[in-house]
């Protein structure tokens, strides 16, 4: 079958990788998809995905989540995408490409974006069963499957990708070796000093490193599977699987076969327009191209720039690609390593500024030109300054270079804010976004938050290493344009909730007054505080109560005065001044006897009853003075507080699960009850909701919860950051196939980390969107323990669980506490005359006309919600 071009000119793209996809977007942005037929040949079984984030597959990101394109984009622009159909031959004379399927496409313009292939050194048995490369999702799936029956793994190559692969093997539970031919790890990015610091850190994580040795041979057993590897120094390692990560080579075979010029060491030679030097109708972009500066770039950012250049050239614009930045930062291994600019100091006459502390694995080097220009650098162990330094590269920093690398303890470190950067400074090198563009997003496009700026400029949506600086920049710009980004909690405290949490925890301050008098704003000390900070601090004290030695009972002493009115009455205030009562029904499971008790109580007190959206029963219309009587009966029948009034755990909804449901693969009800009982009473920045579903059909809607659990054949998947409510958000997968114990441990850490760092009234969804590094950061902290705080987080949760007591049981047994449950101090038995009811549908409702007497209309407000 031959496809002949019609009147519309045809662009054929070979390779739908990261750069290929970016090229399609660039075509679309320039309107070329409307004027051209665009054909894409994609060899892999799936359309373009985020290869840079490939390793995050092992920390739970699914293949779908890695995808970089969607049907809407492809279809919407009329792009013909042939998945799983590689180009086989190119006939340049006839201007035709033949695909594996036999389809033939005539082109006017051909763009090659075939990427690279992993280089496998030609050692004996390199193709034995158990040998892998690390490039595609299929590679990862194969590694994951094989690792299930392996104990020891080795990675050949200690470069950027090798370390990522090694981290992945370790994460799969394998004892892991790294074999690197060069005398140090990451030889391209770091120098000897940096390599030494890196080595210590990597070994400290339990990986075994062999540098300065080559792989001589893979040893295979009688069945043909890997059993070991021989090293050039004569040693032999017993290993069950080997991952080669010894560099990549451009995929230029197709180009060679059709007579295009390739470089001596590979790569399709192109000019600065990304046009092949041989044929003006053929372009090459991305990792398969040999750029005009003689380099083949192995990073995505230069590839993106080439994609833009090629698209602009096809649109007959003026664009050129003459070279790009090689800055990189290691992801996911939990080690901070970054190198940028001229990291090895190759420029003439340049000087090094080095700070090294081998004990703590710190190494920082800056390369400075004669005139003081920052040329590049290497950061190992602490890459905090990476974003700012990278952006400053090429200019003279406004402060002395030494002060940029000295650690904070040395007292002289200068925190160079983003304000020091010039407008041209590139903040996000993945997408080539300058500081000026980011500022413009705020000033001209009226973005008012980090997520909006990300969406508008694309900055921060690649490797994520610029997010920190990006966040600072957005804040600074918002502030400058008069948008208030006052970070203080309220008029009484100029510190954030997170800072107050740290103060309370570290200094064991269990009193609001003490906190206000010592850490409040000048004018607020000694004062009364306000309705914002009182409950916020009350909540912090309650969350940390057992650890800081405060009472765990929210109505004790001074704490009582801090609680929001609902917590103060342990019930939810309704519009006419009456209250609702919600007993806890863990997992939504309730025995008939208890249902009857609820029915009897509601009948005896004349309460309105309703099944809530949270799988429990709400009784409305109780007067303040009736609450103790109602609760005495509930407590007696074995009920406890449902905390419907608290910023704390609400419900853990469940589906019926494997006990009854024909599809269920785990006992979701049991797990929901366990989780609800574990986290009940935990005071947090905002309410917490959860759900457990027994299989992927998700009847419990776990993906709309702060933490949601979905059963799998192998255990449980944990999702976090979901939200229903005003701004719904689907939860993100945090980790997969967890055992019961692993699940609980991760939730413990996740919740405590959230409680520690969130703002007041910030649900997990908004928190996850706001904190620098987002989901990846949270995963690093709670799954990989990169901050080393997981033990503490778990300990805090253990203390909470151990000290939990039902606050209603405590209250009904304490006459002094019961004193507050009266209508009037001077007439405790007289009901509030404003609380009156009228009948409706066989139940009661508030007498609204009675309320309306003397009332003024008010604008609707969403109770307790944060601005988004």
Ligand X SMILES: Cc1cc2nc3c(=O)[nH]c(=O)nc-3n(C[C@H](O)[C@H](O)[C@H](O)COP(=O)(O)OP(=O)(O)OC[C@H]3O[C@@H](n4cnc5c(N)ncnc54)[C@H](O)[C@@H]3O)c2cc1C
Site string for ligand X, 80-119 (x = CB under 6 A): ------xx-------------------------xxx----
Judge whether 702 and 695 are in contact, CB under 8 Å. Answer: no
Per DSSP, 112 falls in state: E
Binding to ligand SRM, residues 580-609 (CB under 6 A): 580, 582
Binding to ligand X, residues 265-304 (CB under 6 A): 286-287, 298-301, 303
Q: Which of 99, 699, 709, 771 binds ligand SF4 (CB under 6 A)?
A: 699
Determine if 359 is a binding residue for another protein (CB under 8 A): no
Site string for ligand SF4, 364-393 (x = CB under 6 A): ------------------------------
Q: Which does 657 bind (CB under 5 to 8 A by kind): ligand X, another protein, ligand SF4, none?
A: ligand SF4
| Burial bucket for residue 816 (CB in 10 Å: 0-12, 13-18, 19+) | exposed
Binding to ligand FES, residues 396-455 (CB under 6 A): 428-430
Query: H/E element holding 618?
Result: strand 617-622
Q: Give whichever of 558 and 698 is closer to ligand SF4, judged by the CB atom.
A: 698
Judge whether 627 and 821 are in contact, CB under 8 Å. Answer: yes
SS3 (DSSP) at 179: strand
Q: Which of 591, 741, 854, 867 binds another protein (CB under 8 A)?
A: 854
Q: Which of 36, 51, 497, 534 binds ligand X (CB under 6 A)?
A: 51
Only segment of 245-253, 309-317, 534-542, 859-867 that touches ligand SRM (CB under 6 A) = 859-867
Query: H/E element holding 403?
Result: helix 401-405
Q: What angle do CA 306, 311, 314 make, to 5 degrees?
A: 125
Q: Give the DSSP letter string of 759-810.
A: PTT--HHHHHHHSTTHHHHHHHHHTS-TTS-HHHHHHHHHHHHHH---HHHH
Q: Which of 843, 850, 865, 866 binds another protein (CB under 8 A)?
A: 850
Q: Cα torsion for 152, 154, 159, 165, to the nearest 10°?
A: -50
CA distance 37 to 24: 12
Q: Which does 383 bind (CB under 5 to 8 A by kind): ligand SF4, ligand X, ligand FES, none?
A: none
CA distance 793 to 786: 13
Residue 661 CB, shortest distance to ligand SF4, in Å, is 3
Determine if 862 is a binding residue for ligand SRM (CB under 6 A): yes
CA distance 534 to 531: 6
Binding to another protein, residues 503-562 (CB under 8 A): 513, 523-524, 527-531, 534-535, 558, 560-562
Cα-trace Rg, the chain: 31
Q: Which residues of 566-580 are buried (b: 16+ CB within 10 A; e: fewer)?
A: bbbbbbbbeebebbb
Q: Which does 460 bind (CB under 5 to 8 A by kind): ligand SRM, ligand FES, ligand SF4, none?
A: ligand FES
Query: H/E element holding 838?
Result: strand 837-840
Only segment of 304-312, 334-342, 519-527, 692-700 that touches ligand SF4 (CB under 6 A) = 692-700
Residue 679 CB, shortest distance to ligand SRM, in Å, is 14
CA distances 412 to 300, 356, 380, 399, Å, are: 36, 16, 19, 11
SS3 (DSSP) at 668: helix
Judge whether 38 and 24 are in contact, CB under 8 Å. Answer: yes
769 CB-near residues (< 8 Å, 6+ apart): 450, 451, 721, 729
Only segment of 345-353, 458-466, 784-792, 799-807 that touches ligand FES (CB under 6 A) = 458-466
Q: Which does 661 bind (CB under 5 to 8 A by kind): ligand SF4, ligand X, ligand FES, none?
A: ligand SF4
Q: Which does 699 bind (CB under 5 to 8 A by kind): ligand SF4, ligand FES, ligand SRM, none?
A: ligand SF4
Q: Which of 322, 824, 838, 840 binds another protein (CB under 8 A)?
A: 824
Determine if 697 is a binding residue for ligand SF4 (CB under 6 A): yes
Binding footprint of another protein, residue count (CB under 8 A): 47
CA distance 259 to 514: 80
Residues in contact with ligand SF4 by CB under 6 A are: 655-657, 661, 663-664, 668, 693-695, 697-699
Residues in contact with another protein by CB under 8 A are: 491-492, 513, 523-524, 527-531, 534-535, 558, 560-562, 564-566, 568-569, 573, 575-577, 819, 823-830, 832-835, 850-856, 858, 861
């Amino acid at each position: 079958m031959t496809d002949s071009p019609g009147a519309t000119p045809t662009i054929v793209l070979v390779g739908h990788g990261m750069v290929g996809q970016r090229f399609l977007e660039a075509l679309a942005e320039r309107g070329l998809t409307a004027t051209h037929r665009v054909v894409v040949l994609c060899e892999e079984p799936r359309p373009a995905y985020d290869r840079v984030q490939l390793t995050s597959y092992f920390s739970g990101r699914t293949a779908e989540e890695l995808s970089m394109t969607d049907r809407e984009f492809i279809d919407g622009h009329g792009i013909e995408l042939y998945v799983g159909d590689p180009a086989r031959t190119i006939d340049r004379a006839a201007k035709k490409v033949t695909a594996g399927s036999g389809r033939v496409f005539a082109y006017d313009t051909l763009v090659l974006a075939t990427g690279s292939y992993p280089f496998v050194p030609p050692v004996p048995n390199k193709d034995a069963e158990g040998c892998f490369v690390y490039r595609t999702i299929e590679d990862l799936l194969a590694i994951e499957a094989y690792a299930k029956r392996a104990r020891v793994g080795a990675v050949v190559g200690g470069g950027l990708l090798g370390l990522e692969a090694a981290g992945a093997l370790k994460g799969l539970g394998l004892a892991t070796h790294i074999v690197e031919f060069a005398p140090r790890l990451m030889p391209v990015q770091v120098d000897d000093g940096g390599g030494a610091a890196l080595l210590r850190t990597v070994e400290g994580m339990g990986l075994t490193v062999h540098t300065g040795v080559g792989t001589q041979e893979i040893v295979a057993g009688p069945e043909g599977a890997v059993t070991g590897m021989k090293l050039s120094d004569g040693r032999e390692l017993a290993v069950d699987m080997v991952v080669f990560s010894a560099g990549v080579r451009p995929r230029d075979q197709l180009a060679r076969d059709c007579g295009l010029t390739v470089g001596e060491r590979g790569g399709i030679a192109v000019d600065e327009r990304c046009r092949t030097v041989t044929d003006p109708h053929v372009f090459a972009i991305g990792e398969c191209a040999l750029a005009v500066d003689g380099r083949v770039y192995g990073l995505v950012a230069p590839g993106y720039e080439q994609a833009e250049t090629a698209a602009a050239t096809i649109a007959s614009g003026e664009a050129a690609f003459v070279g790009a930045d090689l800055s990189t930062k290691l992801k996911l291994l939990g080690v901070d390593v970054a190198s940028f600019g001229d990291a090895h100091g190759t420029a003439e006459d340049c000087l090094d500024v080095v700070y090294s502390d081998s004990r703590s694995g710190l190494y920082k080097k800056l390369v400075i030109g004669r005139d003081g220009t920052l040329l590049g650098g290497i950061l190992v162990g602490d890459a905090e300054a990476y974003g700012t330094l990278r952006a400053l590269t090429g200019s003279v920093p406004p402060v002395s270079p030494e002060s940029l690398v000295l650690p904070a303890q040395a007292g002289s470190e200068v925190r160079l804010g983003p304000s020091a950067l010039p407008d041209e400074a590139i903040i996000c090198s993945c997408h080539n976004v300058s500081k000026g563009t980011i500022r413009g997003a705020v000033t001209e496009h009226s973005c008012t938050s980090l997520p909006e700026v990300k969406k508008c400029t694309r900055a921060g949506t690649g490797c994520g290493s610029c997010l920190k600086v990006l966040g600072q920049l957005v804040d600074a710009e918002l502030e400058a344009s008069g948008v208030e980004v006052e970070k203080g909690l309220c008029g009484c405290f100029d510190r954030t909730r997170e800072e107050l949490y740290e103060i309370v925890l570290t200094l064991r301050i269990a009193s609001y007054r003490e906190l206000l008098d010592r850490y409040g704003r000048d004018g607020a000390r000694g004062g009364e505080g306000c309705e914002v900070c009182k409950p916020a601090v009350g909540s912090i004290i309650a969350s940390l109560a057992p650890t800081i030695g405060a009472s765990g009972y929210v109505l004790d002493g001074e704490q009582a005065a801090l609680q929001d009115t609902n917590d103060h009455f342990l019930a939810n205030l309704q519009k006419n001044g009456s209250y609702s009562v919600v007993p806890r029904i863990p997992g939504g499971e309730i025995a008939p006897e208890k249902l009857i008790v609820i029915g009897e109580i509601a009948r005896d007190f004349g309460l309105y009853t309703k099944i809530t959206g949270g799988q429990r029963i709400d009784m409305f219309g109780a007067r303040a003075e009736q609450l103790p009587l109602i609760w005495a009966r509930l407590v007696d029948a074995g009920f406890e507080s449902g905390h419907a009034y608290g910023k704390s755990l609400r419900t853990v909804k469940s589906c019926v699960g494997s006990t009854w449901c024909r599809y269920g693969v785990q006992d979701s009800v049991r797990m929901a009850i366990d989780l609800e009982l574990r986290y009940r009473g935990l005071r947090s920045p905002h309410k917490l909701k959860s759900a457990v579903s027994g299989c992927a059909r998700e009847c419990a809607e776990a993906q709309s919860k702060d933490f949601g659990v979905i059963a799998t054949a192998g255990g449980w998947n944990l999702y976090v950051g979901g939200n229903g409510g005003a701004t719904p958000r689907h939860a993100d997968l945090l980790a997969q196939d967890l055992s019961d114990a692993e699940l609980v441990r991760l939730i413990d850490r996740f919740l405590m980390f959230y409680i520690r760092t969130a703002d007041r009234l910030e649900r997990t969804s908004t928190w996850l969107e706001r904190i620098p590094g987002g989901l990846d950061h949270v995963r690093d902290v709670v799954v990989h323990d990169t901050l080393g705080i997981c033990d503490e987080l778990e300990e805090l949760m253990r203390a909470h669980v151990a000290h939990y007591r039902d606050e209603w049981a405590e209250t009904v047994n304490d006459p002094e506490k019961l004193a507050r449950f009266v209508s009037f101090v001077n007439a405790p038995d007289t009901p509030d005359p404003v609380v009156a009811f009228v009948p409706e549908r066989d139940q009661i409702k508030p007498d609204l006309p009675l309320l309306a007497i003397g009332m003024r209309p008010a604008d609707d407000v969403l109770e307790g919600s944060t601005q988004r």
